[in-house]
Amino acid sequence: MHDGFIKVAAATPKIRLADPAYNAQQIVKLMKEAAGLGVKVMVFPELCLTGYSCGDLFLQPTLIKGAEEALGTILKRTKKLDVVAAIGLPVEDTNHKLYNCAAIIHKGKLVDVVSKTYTPNYGEFYERRWFSSFEATPCPEDKDCCNIPLCGKDITMANQRMWRCDSVPNLMIGVEICEDLWGVEPPSGKLASAGATLILNLSASNEVIGKAAYRRELVKSQSARCICGYVYADAGEGESTADLVFAGHNLIAENGTILAENRFHTGLTISEIDVDKLAYERKRINTFPAYGDSSLWQTYMDEDIAVTCTDLTRTVAKNPFLPDDPAEQNARCEEILTIAALGLKQRLSHAGAKTAVLGLSGGLDSTLAALICARALDLLGRPRTDLLCVTMPCFGTTERTKGNAEILAERLGATLRTIDIGKAVTQHFADIGQDMSNHDVTFENAQARERTQVLMDIANQTGGLVVGTGDLSELALGWCTYNGDQMSMYAVNASIPKTLVRRVVAYGADTTGDEALAATLRDILATPVSPELLPAKDGEIAQKTEDLVGPYELHDFFLYHILRWAEPPRKVLRLAERAFAGEYDRATILKWLKTFYRRFFTQQFKRNAAPDGPKVGSVALSPRGDWRMPSDAVANLWLKELEGL
């Protein structure tokens, strides 16, 4: 459970109807299996000790007593299991009312009993024939609870309660039962407002065409709405098939993402819920209720869950900025192009700009900016000749990148100007006494600043606006020249990370319909990322960015997890090791993670002076709305945590 990960399971046992003793054996078997796999919290289906489809047998005292005895058996046989389990069974109170309940157990002890809030009585479900609605039949002393004797213990039953785990501060567990999720106001909403980060749902939901998709969306959306983990266990094999089929559709979701799913399944569905991430998100989103009903809080009465290191089975995406599905990726790319183009359209229109002036290098970033500019002009109904592309070869420019820039401008229908800045930079070096053979930072940055000056002056000449090309990854690392490529009048790529820049350009190549343009875009994609500020070697690029600052796929991974979820260094390293297993070893990941933290802190002054640019995703570094950090903050705390790892 280090780093906030809690291993959870939805369990569907193979049952026999009206045979609680047999069902208890199956439940214990799955609990032992789950414990062996490191599961700490698990949930079983609704009424699984008896079976959901027992019908009028629920009114038989023999079945109710048998269910209680079976629960007692489970308690005796799970004393050594450090697993919190929610088990469904019918429970009768002292007023002879029957309730559809969940028993919460831990280490052989009955912690609590929770009743179903909404008992359906429509369609194929006739629960009110047997079960009372808890809210409809309150005890005289308290409208929210009543006392019941169960397994030798007097329990104050409730329909809404949660359990705080002192050993894992961000783990707070709430329970709802099947129909509760379908209600207008699911109990999980109130539970989450009171602090519950993990909701368990004991369910017996039958299968009909289309219901699985609806059920999946319910679980997914409720986990997002409540910013919680949600574990849904469905009844399956052994239930009556007289009129209904139960398919064991088990789901585990976290804040709007399905982590694990099984359907037509018997056994365990396992994943890990990151309760620290959920706690952070609730802290970040100030519309999430600050206070809930503290009367719902309940601590474990005997022992807390033992804190162990949770083995991760959940998928950790290598590229968290992109969905896995190719169709969704294409839709994401189209949306990014549209959002960025709309932002630029508004800025060009508002500024009355006659041209969009763009430094076109033949590299990835300026290529994406050119595609966005072309789309913005199309939206404005203006000719693409208003896109003024300027290619400015100098000491490190290769024929490959220069040629690609020229073809790209031509195929887009832009106006192209070529201005060799070599003489101007050489004169500048003479003016300041810079040795031409000294290829230091001055040698590099002077070229970047000269290019920016040329673009700004051409914008003045043409009544235009300089469009910036720097991306989010470069901003995070400070891989840009202050008052050089760091500056523009509108930075269209500012919230697009390098890995996503690459994917959007690839999308442009796949969808353009212009074979010559597509071929050029693909060659640009195959070109090493470089600022081309050092002299070329044998006509080839001599300066490769990723050799100097590290792989962008790693840095984008770090960027996402550090900024989006505020995850600490140790956890970022652990997640990266899982995501990039077999590609980068621990030492390599650690090396570049340290580089990321050092550069991120020391380069904040560049971001604090960043120009406007359209936000396209949940991670951005605009100093005006997304990331506010002093330029003189130090990284010592973060780097110290990485020492010795």
How far is it, in rounded angstroms, from Cα 148 to Cα 93? Answer: 5
Asked if 617 contacts 319 with a C-beta cutoff of 8 angstroms, the reply is no
At 273-289, the pLDDT tens digits run: 999 999 999 999 888 88
SS (H, E, C) 272-321: EEEHHHHHHHHHHCCCCCCCCCHHHCCECCCCCCCCCCCCCCCCCCCCCC
Question: Average pLDDT for residues 541-547, to the nearest whole number?
Answer: 79
Predicted confidence (pLDDT) at residue 472 exceeds the cutoff of 70: yes
Distance CA(139)–CA(407), nearest Å, equals 80
For the chain, give every domain's residue range.
2-296, 331-545+608-624
Q: Residues 255, 258, 262, CA angle at the centre, nearest 5°?
A: 145
Percentages (nearest 5) of helix, strand, coil residues in the chain: 40, 20, 40
Pairing relationship of beta strands 125-126 and 121-122 according to DSSP bridges = antiparallel
- Look-up: residue for tokens 């994609």? 525
Q: Give pLDDT, residue 143.
A: 47
Beta pairing class for 121-122 and 198-203: unpaired
Residue 103 clears pLDDT 80, i.e. is over it: yes
Nearest to 74 by CA among 103, 38, 40: 103
Alpha-helix runs per DSSP H in 352-465: 364-380, 399-412, 422-432, 441-462
- Taken as a whole, the chain contains a residue count of 645
Give the residue among 239, 175, 167, 230 at the shortest CA–CA distance from 207: 239
Q: Which two tokens stand for residue 112?
A: 């609590």
Q: Which of 109-113, 498-502, 523-527 shows the lowest mean pLDDT across its residues? A: 109-113
Domain 2-296: CATH superfamily is Carbon-nitrogen hydrolase (3.60.110.10)
CB 362 within 8 A of CB 391: yes
Apex 595 CA angle, 592 and 600, nearest 5: 125
Q: What are phi and psi of 246, to 5 degrees?
A: -110, 130
In this prediction, residues 387-413 reach a mean pLDDT of 95
Instruction: Kindly calculate the radius of gyration of the chain based on its CA atoms and give it in whole angstroms.
Output: 31
Q: CA distances (Å), 491 to each of 487, 496, 622, in order?
A: 8, 10, 11
Count of H helices and E strands in the chain?
21, 21
Return d(Cα 316, Cα 305) in angstroms, integer.
Answer: 25
The pLDDT of residue 308? 79
Cβ atoms < 10 Å from Cβ of 475: 28
Using the Cα atoms of residue 138, residue 143, residue 144 and residue 146 in order, give the sign of their dihedral.
negative
Between 312 and 534, whose confidence is greater?
Answer: 312
DSSP 228-253: SEEEEEE--TTS--SS--B---EEEE
Catalytic residue set: 46, 116, 178
In the numeric block, which tokens belong to residue 202? 């004991």
Is a pLDDT exceeding 90 seen at residue 140? no
Q: How does pLDDT run across 20-61, given as a tens digit for each residue? A: 999 999 999 999 999 999 999 999 999 999 999 998 899 999
Candidates 3.40.50.620, 3.30.470.20, 3.30.56.10, 3.90.78.10; CATH matching 331-545+608-624 = 3.40.50.620
Distances (CA, A) of 470 to 244, 366, 458: 59, 8, 19
Q: In this predicted structure, which of 7-11, 67-71, 159-163, 475-479 has the lowest mean pLDDT?
A: 159-163
Q: What pLDDT is attached to residue 296?
A: 64
Sign of the CA dihedral 356, 511, 323, 522?
negative
Residue 84: closest CA among 168, 182, 18, 23: 168
| Out of 97-106, 341-350, 406-415, 452-461, least confident range | 97-106
Structure tokens at 185: 């106001």
* Per-residue pLDDT, 300: 56
3-class secondary structure, 268: strand
Comparing C-alpha atoms, which of 316, 408, 325, 294 is closest to residue 359?
408
Contact criterion met (CB below 8 Å) for 2 and 307: yes
| pLDDT score for 138 | 46
How confident is the model over 393-403, as a mean pLDDT? 93
Angle between helices 498-511 and 515-526 (to 10 degrees): 160
Q: What is the mean pLDDT of the chain?
A: 91
Q: What is the 3-state secondary structure (H, E, C) of 132-179?
A: CCHHHCCCCCCCCEEEEEECCEEEEEECCCEEECCCCCCCEEEEEECH
**How many other β-carbons are positioned within 10 Å of the β-carbon of residue 637?**
11
pLDDT for the residue numbered 295 = 64
Distance CA 182, CA 242 (A): 24
pLDDT digits (tens, 9 = 90+) for 141-161: 554 456 788 888 877 777 788
Q: Which residues pair with 231 in a beta bridge?
A: 200, 252
3-state class of 99 per DSSP?
strand
pLDDT for res 294: 63
